[in-house]
Amino acid sequence: MQNAKPLPSYLVQRYQGWKATSYKENESWYRRLAEEGQHPRAMVISCCDSRVHVTSIFGADQGEFFIHRNIANLVPPYEPDGDRHGTSATVEYAVTALKVAHIVVMGHSSCGGVQGCHDMCSGKAPELEEKSSFVGRWMDILRPGYEKVKHIEDESERKRALEKEAVLTSLANLMTFPFVQQAVEGGQLSLHGVWHNIGEGSLEHYLPEEGVFKAV
Amino acid sequence: MQNAKPLPSYLVQRYQGWKATSYKENESWYRRLAEEGQHPRAMVISCCDSRVHVTSIFGADQGEFFIHRNIANLVPPYEPDGDRHGTSATVEYAVTALKVAHIVVMGHSSCGGVQGCHDMCSGKAPELEEKSSFVGRWMDILRPGYEKVKHIEDESERKRALEKEAVLTSLANLMTFPFVQQAVEGGQLSLHGVWHNIGEGSLEHYLPEEGVFKAV
Amino acid sequence: MQNAKPLPSYLVQRYQGWKATSYKENESWYRRLAEEGQHPRAMVISCCDSRVHVTSIFGADQGEFFIHRNIANLVPPYEPDGDRHGTSATVEYAVTALKVAHIVVMGHSSCGGVQGCHDMCSGKAPELEEKSSFVGRWMDILRPGYEKVKHIEDESERKRALEKEAVLTSLANLMTFPFVQQAVEGGQLSLHGVWHNIGEGSLEHYLPEEGVFKAV
Amino acid sequence: MQNAKPLPSYLVQRYQGWKATSYKENESWYRRLAEEGQHPRAMVISCCDSRVHVTSIFGADQGEFFIHRNIANLVPPYEPDGDRHGTSATVEYAVTALKVAHIVVMGHSSCGGVQGCHDMCSGKAPELEEKSSFVGRWMDILRPGYEKVKHIEDESERKRALEKEAVLTSLANLMTFPFVQQAVEGGQLSLHGVWHNIGEGSLEHYLPEEGVFKAV
């Protein structure tokens, strides 16, 4: 790989600060984690967005959360067709190898991926319809969700509803994985849907009995 | 989604602690991030492993890093075939929409995904060869890497070498994306490969001129 | 300007070292900063003192902090009289154009400007009382602060208290600017006062509820 | 000051990283700097812009540079009228108290303050003409500089020329201070003008004999 460069010094400096403080004071724990392997209690599926700071929001420490982050926190349906399915691989590993007790799907406000899906489905982003658009093809997962919210008149309300549909779509798709369904029904695993408002710092979770997201 | 459950109280409690402290003291910044959108300087591609704590190691704060986490920090090659490619979507969004200046691929010690690839390629994990194994099909990306390290006699050295091959494979695959190549050659983007030893807390970066990973 | 001279070679050498290392490894980021403009998260107002190394203490990198440095980190009160007010211009630009989320006023130990104010107010530095003394007229901003600490018997304690009064005076004066007050009250901006002990490397921040500076 | 808040945790974390690394390894030097006072070799007058990273460009360490940063690196002319002149106070302190050997005025590309002056003088920013505009009144210092470059047809060339005029104006104004003139003529002080291109990482210094800025 001739095109790689050394790590920029600002990251080296950040790392060295961590090494001298956090690492040093937790050295014995980190050594033990390395020797014994990870036993995370929960898997979190969230967006790559730099403003969605899962580890901060849940006060995560080394070893606590198995975290998958992709565009718009989406899980595709179960498709064991022999092709590559990166997200499905993370779910499989978390549930069958690590046996996490919880999977939390976290959506968020001002989601660029959801915005793209909204624009694509409403005809405003033809470039996302192209075969070569990776973001477009990925956001296809949320097309059925758009159908459910397109009647909402106010645009910002419609996008927010679509952000929450992204969470519900992922939860529903998770249940199409036989090993997920089995673990949920056997009581070894529970699924949770949350939506985070970046600016307000608020967090809502999905309450299935009421069929709505409510502030925790 | 009738199977979802409310957020477990231990996570609610963690969230409330964050809201009362970190959120409260950074409220003005979070509001601005929500209004103006994100301008992350770097994208980090790392493993989902709960012990790989990117935000801690780099002292990351809200808005700083666009983070994609998958099994074994792998990037597949460019394949604009109209299928879903979640990881490719994250790279496309980071480079073309956010215009990040750096992509850092971070591998790590004791990587379960790399271990699986090692076992699969050496005939010790036939279940991963099955069409229905998402982890197996995902780790196929690293098969060529296994060919490069299989001559190493010592098993733990061989696995460590394979962990580093995962980083190099991702860096090489990144360059197959036309928009990545163009940004790298135009000086708008630089790629970096690092490998993190969880127990030792050490960090090595790949130096292309020497062709090796060295401690930062 | 016939009196200017070429840059001294020791600075040329320093610059060339930076160009070949830091610049080279961050080139893509610097180009992006040049094209897209700055989005600093915070403004820091600190002293010109060569020992107060804001960028080092906060691990600052290009693009992170909008930094104003003057004698004794003072902000004068709001005076829109049509005269030149260099410090007021920096605050106006940071708050109304850049919309920074934080303003941090940083005082420090062994501050020469504060020492001058102390000597002037206690009658030991008549030359600073002269109309032509720029340092004296600038330090007039801190005269009310001297009144609050002059009862302290121990001289070194008195000076330290005055250094902290310089921070509090600036914070209070900042609030006299209508655009600062509005941004603070609207939750877009927060103000912070810190005092840095150069020799000890310690840092104290002002806690308004307790009315004191305490180690962070 | 009831409106102040504790230091945000991201800055506390940065500080703690510095304390555990840079401070720790330089503790004896920092203690000595605190005891013996500063003896900086040079004063640097630069812009507050977050992208102008003086300490990085000149590899500055604690104790080396007395740094004044304001909007557009401007020095007003000598006016001992008994009013507050914050920038003049920094020059007075640097030259008469610290006896620095060099004053370096550093301008830079994409300067927002210079842009404002350009727009104001060309009639495109009437709001900056208002008495209450601190930025406008501060940029009045550069009005004569605008007169010298307004004939340049290409707008981006004209702005760049004005950025360099800001440096020359400051150098010329510095010489109106009797103590600066005396130190320069006595050979105790030399003045230097440089202009920094943020994106290119280049540095030009003013060569009085040729009357131009040239790459160092």
State the pLDDT at residue B187. Answer: 87
Q: What is the ipTM of this complex?
A: 0.96
Q: DSSP label at C19?
A: I
Same domain as C8, residue C72: no
Chain B: closest CA distance from residue A151 (Å): 21
How many domains is chain D built from?
2
- Put simply, the answer to whether A201 touches B42 (Cβ < 8 Å) is no
Q: Does C25 touch chain A (CB under 8 A)?
A: yes
Dump pLDDT digits (tens) for D62-71: 899 999 999 9
Q: How many CB atoms lie within 10 A of CB A202?
A: 15
Residue pair A192/B8 in contact by the 8 Å Cβ criterion: yes
H, E, C per residue of A147-177? HHHCCCCCHHHHHHHHHHHHHHHHHHHHCCC
Q: Does B187 touch chain A (CB under 8 A)?
A: no
pLDDT at residue C151 is higher than 80: yes
Q: DSSP label at B140?
A: G
Instruction: State the Cα–Cα distance between residues B181 and C9, nearest whole angstrom.
Output: 39
Q: What is the mean pLDDT of chain C?
A: 95
Minimum-distance CB partner of B26 among D8, D14, D17: D8
Same domain as D104, residue D10: no
A24 interaction partners in chain D (CB closer than 8 Å)? 20
Dump pLDDT digits (tens) for D37-54: 999 999 999 999 999 988
Dump pLDDT digits (tens) for C58-72: 988 889 999 999 999
Best mutation target among B23, B28, B38, B209 (most C Cβ atoms within 10 Å) is B28
Q: What is the mean pLDDT of chain A?
A: 95
pLDDT at residue A120 is higher than 70: yes
Q: Does D158 touch chain C (CB under 8 A)?
A: no
Same domain as C154, residue C166: yes
Chain D: closest CA distance from residue A53 (Å): 13
Same domain as A26, residue A83: no
Q: Which of A117-121, B67-71, B104-108, D49-53 has the lowest mean pLDDT?
A: D49-53
Q: DSSP label at C35?
A: H
State the pLDDT at residue B151. Answer: 97
DSSP lists the bridge partners of residue B196 as B108, B203
Dump pLDDT digits (tens) for B64-73: 999 999 999 9
D6 interaction partners in chain B (CB closer than 8 Å)? 25
State the pLDDT at residue A10. Answer: 86
D13 interaction partners in chain A (CB closer than 8 Å)? 17
Q: Does B21 touch chain D (CB under 8 A)?
A: yes
Chain A: closest CA distance from residue D16 (Å): 7
Same domain as B124, residue B24: no
State the pLDDT at residue D199. Answer: 94
**With the C-alpha atoms ordered B152, B157, B161, B166, is the resulting torsion angle positive or negative?**
positive
B61 interaction partners in chain D (CB closer than 8 Å)? 10
Question: Comparing C-alpha atoms, which of C61, C28, C70 is closest to residue C42?
Answer: C61
pLDDT at residue C1 is higher than 90: no
pLDDT at residue C2 is higher than 80: no
User: pLDDT band for position D98 (50/70/90)?
Assistant: very high
Same domain as B124, residue B73: yes
- Put simply, the answer to whether A18 touches D17 (Cβ < 8 Å) is yes
Mean pLDDT of C10-20: 93
Pinpoint the alpha helices (H) of chain C: 9-18, 24-36, 54-57, 86-92, 112-121, 126-129, 134-139, 143-149, 155-174, 178-185
Same domain as C13, residue C68: no
Chain B: closest CA distance from residue C187 (Å): 5
Question: Comparing C-alpha atoms, which of A15, A61, A51 is closest to residue B61?
Answer: A51
Annotated binding-site positions of B: 47, 49, 108, 111
Chains in contact with C, counting 3 or more C-beta pairs less than 8 Å apart as contact: A, B, D
Mean pLDDT of A60-64: 89
A21 interaction partners in chain D (CB closer than 8 Å)? 16-17, 20
CB contacts < 8 A (A, D):
20
Q: Does A62 touch chain C (CB under 8 A)?
A: no
User: pLDDT band for position D2 (50/70/90)?
Assistant: confident
Same domain as D124, residue D21: no
Instruction: State the Cα–Cα distance between residues C198 and D26, nearest whole angstrom.
Output: 11
Residue A143's domain is classified under what CATH number? 3.40.1050.10
Chain B: closest CA distance from residue C53 (Å): 20
Q: Does B152 touch chain A (CB under 8 A)?
A: no
Residue pair A119/A128 in contact by the 8 Å Cβ criterion: yes
Same domain as C92, residue C109: yes
State the pLDDT at residue A215. Answer: 96
pLDDT at residue B205 is higher than 80: yes
Domain containing D68 equals 38-215
Which tokens sit at C9? Answer: 């070679």
Residue pair A166/A116 in contact by the 8 Å Cβ criterion: no
Same domain as C47, residue C19: no
Q: Does A212 touch chain B (CB under 8 A)?
A: no
Residue A108 counted as an annotated binding residue:
yes
Q: Does D20 touch chain A (CB under 8 A)?
A: yes
Dump pLDDT digits (tens) for D109-161: 999 999 999 999 999 999 999 999 999 999 999 999 999 999 999 999 999 99
Same domain as B29, residue B113: no
Residue A53 counted as an annotated binding residue:
no
Same domain as C16, residue C114: no
Residue A151 counted as an annotated binding residue:
no
Q: Does C82 touch chain D (CB under 8 A)?
A: yes
The rounded percent of chain A whose pLDDT value lies above 70 is 100
State the pLDDT at residue B1. Answer: 63
Q: Does C6 touch chain A (CB under 8 A)?
A: no
